[in-house]
Chain A
Amino acid sequence: MRLLIWTYNGTSQAKTRKTMGTTVKAKDGAPRKARRAAQLSSRHLLGLEGMPAEDIQLILETAVPFKEILERPIKKVPPLRGMTVVNLFYEPSTRTRISFELAEKRLSADVVSFTTSSSSVQKGETLKDTIKNIEAMKTDVVVIRHSFPGAAHYLTTCCSSIVINAGDGAHEHPTQGLLDIYTLWEKFGSLKGRTILIVGDIAHSRVARSNIFGLVTLGATVRVCGPPTLIPVDVDKLGVEVFYDLDQALAGVDAINVLRIQKERQSGALLPSLREYTLLFGLNRERLRRAGPDVVVMHPGPMNRGVEITPEVADGPQSVILSQVTNGLAVRMAVLYLLCGGGKKVNRR
């Protein structure tokens, strides 16, 4: 495993590490080999729906040593050296874009970032033409954020690069789902039998969907809670429990994932007012106290403080909101590493 070489070679403190479900003993100076192939079953990361539990587990375990690298003075390792990653962002993004860029750079990839406001998309170029032109410059990986569901899937039909979905409309945001799962896994170990509540605008949330798909696959009980206008039809068919009363939903949960409520929602007859939303669904200290002292509070950001979550909860001891952001970087490094050939010889075209 090359990953292990970078992680442990030259560092004297690591002697024994459990990784990829395999115990690898460090022998001075000698390269280590993991016993089982560390590969994902898919060439792209388009979503968590249908992703096997083994793949999710592999990503989680691969992220552990990467998280450690982030604590080092020199936070850079070489596995994507010589590869070119394009970040194709058709929607505004702070966290996800910076996180992907940093993850790519820390893996030594060459990185090109693209935003629609400063590109030929303004001149009416289609997604297909855009990607074909970028790919003609010999790129290897495309990370795409787009406002339309299925945009990442569509991209796989018109280019030969490895595609990573960084959010497609209200469909999926798999790396967010993975980083949320990683954060929970770090806290709880196995997620089997754990109860996770997602509160807010489930209908328009790709974060909710990726969380639901991944958590259900890992055997967690998933609850969703929000006003019926923001709960999509038949959501129970995705294997979740539906609540319209936050206090009932909170009873017995291990973690709460609070979703951002978009201010536009109150203009479209979906919500009478943000004020009423906050009264009914805002997570505050009193509600969290009733839920219990060990309940973990998450938020994918960006937060509307005082709307879906009060500042004292967001910044309180039960909040892991900033850990999520750190974990996001480690998880994205793991995803890039695994998709680009992980363990095997890096696949250069």
Chain B
Amino acid sequence: MSVKFPKTVSIIAGGRIIDPASGIDAVGDVYLKGGVIDKIELKKKALKTTAEMDAERSIADARGLIVAPGFIDVHVHLREPGREDEETIESGARAAAAGGFTSVCCMPNTDPPIDDQETVQFVIDQARDAACRVYPIGAITQGQRGEFLTEIGDMVAAGAVGISEDGKSVASAEVQRRAMEYVRMFDIPVISHCEDAALANNGVMNEGTVSTLLGMSGQPGAAEEIMVARDIQLAAFTGARLHIAHVSTAGSVKLIKRGKRDGVRVTGEAAPHHFSLIDRMIAESFNSNLRVNPPLRTEKDRKAVIAALADGTLDCIATDHAPHSVEEKDNEFDKAPPGMVGLETALGLVGKVLVVGGFLGWPRAIELLSTNPAKIVKVPGGTLAEGAPADITVFNPDEEWTVAPEKFFSLSHNSPFAGWSLTGRVKMTICRGKVTHIDE
């Protein structure tokens, strides 16, 4: 079917509206007004004729498409300030909109790091006209050095929605404990990148059969799991809200499941590459775009992560979008920095691997991409309820498309999915009632 989207939208008509937060999964029309959702009318019998549509250009024909609350990515790297050649807040937000995201949380490993009120304010100012909402995550310690707490209250006042040491764990359990105690007064999550640095020992891939085959330095899954276990114990002890970033091993999944059962306030995210790729693929090509931290794990781990996304052990999907320049990535595997871009391939991977793979349906996928992340970082959106902000993603769940990184809106193209055929494509993204992306 041909889809015509107007530049401004007042009605999204005839789509399958899925809003897990309000329990809606039905065909209908979404009415927008003044940047919020005015009302939803279900089971309208038919859309207006084409002529009428032409006359009233603010109706989007969403027949055959899914209309969902805008996606929210709690884990991206926008590289500004510091590496504006790799990504800027503007380009990253544009890539986010193209991927169906209406909100992203940007991690603090910039240069300088987001570790004070001023830098948080800088990010928010830079994002003022961006194509999606951008929420900074502040560092846990000053300069990410693991020693002294940042002025967390000051950063929260300026708009930070969480804290994370990002890219590493706070090595000292004492410092981590104090951070978790301290944030209780703000009700923000402590987001934990779990990696015991000594045990990971700068390994460039997962330690296992494949690292043995390739003679590559490996980091064991235990390096992640030890920190997951530590931080869950600390969350139980301090009562803090803990969010585990990019869960990649079966062992971490088990620990989170147990933590939840014990009543610990812990949530977890998985990155699309961890449910789509495994370490074995490195042996086929030595493609440095497959280098990422935490590393691609085994098929057993991948299956465990998928099962955890389906059964509720993991709460959301976050891309860990990590742009890197060509000159940095086009190198020997060991020399290339870890990370891959992910905003523009996330939905297609969810569709291809999780939905077409038969592990979960679109309602659960939308919970993972929108409903739950909104709750974790407590930001507006994540629902199509009346009066909610008009942050909406319209996508074709069945459209197959081929990944061409050179067409990305991101300034960086470091994707291992180049040439992959994915299922599910974003057709239109609306943020604050404004159209931020149209697939043409």
Q: 1/0 contact trace for B331-373 toward A, CB 8 Å?
A: 1111100000000000000000000000000000000000000
Our pick among A49, A146, A234 for the contact of B208 (Cβ within 8 Å) is: A234
User: Would A149 and B216 count as touching, CB distance under 8 A?
Assistant: yes
Q: Report chain B residues within 8 Å CB of A148.
A: 332-335
A232 to B205, CA, bound (A): 14
Our pick among B212, B216, B327 for the contact of A238 (Cβ within 8 Å) is: B212
Our pick among A128, A149, A153, A203 for the contact of B330 (Cβ within 8 Å) is: A128
Q: 1/0 contact trace for B195-217 toward A, CB 8 Å?
A: 00000000000011101111111
User: Would A149 and B214 count as touching, CB distance under 8 A?
Assistant: yes
User: B286 at interface (Cβ–Cβ under 8 A)?
Assistant: yes
User: Would B327 and A171 count as touching, CB distance under 8 A?
Assistant: no
User: Would B331 and A126 count as touching, CB distance under 8 A?
Assistant: yes
User: Would A49 and B331 count as touching, CB distance under 8 A?
Assistant: no
User: A154 at interface (Cβ–Cβ under 8 A)?
Assistant: yes
Q: 1/0 contact trace for B305-340 toward A, CB 8 Å?
A: 000000000000000000000010011111100000
Our pick among A153, A170, A233 for the contact of B215 (Cβ within 8 Å) is: A170
Q: Report chain B residues within 8 Å CB of A72.
A: none
Within 8 A of A (CB), among B270-303: 285-286, 288
A206 to B207, CA, bound (A): 17
Q: Which of B213, B218, B333 is most buried by chain A, counting CB atoms within 10 A of its CB?
A: B213
Q: 1/0 contact trace for A209-247 toward B, CB 8 Å?
A: 100000000000000000000001111011000000000
Our pick among B216, B220, B285 for the contact of A171 (Cβ within 8 Å) is: B216
Within 8 A of B (CB), among A156-171: 158, 168-171
A147 to B332, CA, bound (A): 10
User: Would B327 and A126 count as touching, CB distance under 8 A?
Assistant: yes
User: Would B215 and A171 count as touching, CB distance under 8 A?
Assistant: yes
User: Would B215 and A169 count as touching, CB distance under 8 A?
Assistant: yes
Q: Report chain A residues within 8 Å CB of B288.
A: 154
| B55 CB, nearest partner CB in chain A, Å | 55
Q: Report chain B residues within 8 Å CB of A288.
A: none
User: A151 at interface (Cβ–Cβ under 8 A)?
Assistant: yes
| B218 CB, nearest partner CB in chain A, Å | 8
User: Would A237 and B333 count as touching, CB distance under 8 A?
Assistant: no
User: A343 at interface (Cβ–Cβ under 8 A)?
Assistant: no
Our pick among B207, B215, B285, B331 for the contact of A149 (Cβ within 8 Å) is: B215
| B203 CB, nearest partner CB in chain A, Å | 12
User: Would B327 and A170 count as touching, CB distance under 8 A?
Assistant: no
User: Would A154 and B215 count as touching, CB distance under 8 A?
Assistant: no
Q: Interface size class for chain B?
A: 20 to 34
| A132 CB, nearest partner CB in chain B, Å | 12
Q: Report chain A residues within 8 Å CB of B333.
A: 148-150, 154
| A42 CB, nearest partner CB in chain B, Å | 15
User: Would B215 and A172 count as touching, CB distance under 8 A?
Assistant: yes
A221 to B52, CA, bound (A): 79
User: Would A170 and B331 count as touching, CB distance under 8 A?
Assistant: no
User: Would B216 and A154 count as touching, CB distance under 8 A?
Assistant: no
Q: Report chain B residues within 8 Å CB of A237.
A: 209, 212-213
Q: 1/0 contact trace for B392-417 toward A, CB 8 Å?
A: 00000000000000000000000000
User: Would B331 and A238 count as touching, CB distance under 8 A?
Assistant: no
Q: Report chain A residues within 8 Å CB of B332.
A: 127, 146, 148, 150-151, 154
A49 to B284, CA, bound (A): 12
Q: Report chain B residues within 8 Å CB of A147.
A: 334
A237 to B283, CA, bound (A): 15
Q: Report chain A residues within 8 Å CB of B213.
A: 49, 209, 237-238
| A59 CB, nearest partner CB in chain B, Å | 22
| A332 CB, nearest partner CB in chain B, Å | 21
A150 to B291, CA, bound (A): 13
A115 to B211, CA, bound (A): 28
Q: Report chain A residues within 8 Å CB of B215.
A: 149, 168-172, 204-206, 209
A150 to B216, CA, bound (A): 9
| B324 CB, nearest partner CB in chain A, Å | 14
A304 to B213, CA, bound (A): 26
Kindly report which residue of chain A lies nearest to residue B285, judged by CB atoms: A153
Our pick among A127, A153, A203, A204 for the contact of B286 (Cβ within 8 Å) is: A153
Q: Report chain A residues within 8 Å CB of B334.
A: 147-149, 169
A128 to B217, CA, bound (A): 22
User: Would B208 and A171 count as touching, CB distance under 8 A?
Assistant: no
Our pick among B211, B286, B327, B330 for the contact of A232 (Cβ within 8 Å) is: B211
User: Would A169 and B212 count as touching, CB distance under 8 A?
Assistant: no
User: Would B212 and A235 count as touching, CB distance under 8 A?
Assistant: yes
Q: Report chain A residues within 8 Å CB of B330.
A: 126, 128, 158
| A189 CB, nearest partner CB in chain B, Å | 29
User: Would A233 and B207 count as touching, CB distance under 8 A?
Assistant: yes
Assuming the A-B contacts A148-B332, A150-B332, are A171 and B214 also in contact, with contact meaning beta carbons closer than 8 angstroms in the complex?
yes
| A117 CB, nearest partner CB in chain B, Å | 18
A128 to B331, CA, bound (A): 7
A206 to B208, CA, bound (A): 17
Kindly report which residue of chain A lies nearest to residue B288, judged by CB atoms: A154
Q: Report chain B residues within 8 Å CB of A171.
A: 214-216
| B350 CB, nearest partner CB in chain A, Å | 30
Kindly report which residue of chain A lies nearest to residue B205, judged by CB atoms: A149
A234 to B286, CA, bound (A): 20
A169 to B333, CA, bound (A): 11
A238 to B212, CA, bound (A): 9
Kindly report which residue of chain A lies nearest to residue B286, judged by CB atoms: A150
User: Would B212 and A233 count as touching, CB distance under 8 A?
Assistant: yes
Kindly report which residue of chain A lies nearest to residue B332, judged by CB atoms: A148
A234 to B334, CA, bound (A): 22
Q: Which of B215, B288, B335 is most buried by chain A, counting CB atoms within 10 A of its CB?
A: B215
Q: Report chain B residues within 8 Å CB of A205.
A: 215
Our pick among A150, A203, A204 for the contact of B214 (Cβ within 8 Å) is: A150
User: Would A154 and B211 count as touching, CB distance under 8 A?
Assistant: no
Q: 1/0 contact trace for A298-319 toward B, CB 8 Å?
A: 0000000000000000000000
A127 to B335, CA, bound (A): 10
Within 8 A of B (CB), among A124-146: 126-128, 146
Kindly report which residue of chain A lies nearest to residue B328, judged by CB atoms: A126
Our pick among B209, B214, B327, B335 for the contact of A233 (Cβ within 8 Å) is: B209
Kindly report which residue of chain B lies nearest to residue A90, judged by CB atoms: B332
Kindly report which residue of chain A lies nearest to residue B335, judged by CB atoms: A148
A172 to B213, CA, bound (A): 9
| B329 CB, nearest partner CB in chain A, Å | 11
Closest 3 CB pairs of A and B: A170-B215, A150-B286, A171-B215
Measured CB to CB, the residues of B under 8 A from A are 207-209, 211-218, 220, 285-286, 288, 327, 330-335
Additional A-B contacts beyond A169-B215, A233-B211, A237-B209 (18; CB < 8 A) = A126-B327, A147-B334, A149-B215, A151-B332, A154-B286, A168-B215, A169-B216, A169-B334, A171-B216, A172-B215, A204-B215, A206-B215, A232-B211, A233-B208, A233-B212, A234-B209, A237-B212, A238-B213
Q: List 16 A-B contacts (CB under 8 A).
A: A127-B331, A127-B332, A128-B331, A149-B215, A149-B216, A150-B286, A151-B332, A154-B333, A168-B215, A172-B215, A204-B215, A206-B215, A233-B207, A233-B211, A234-B212, A237-B212
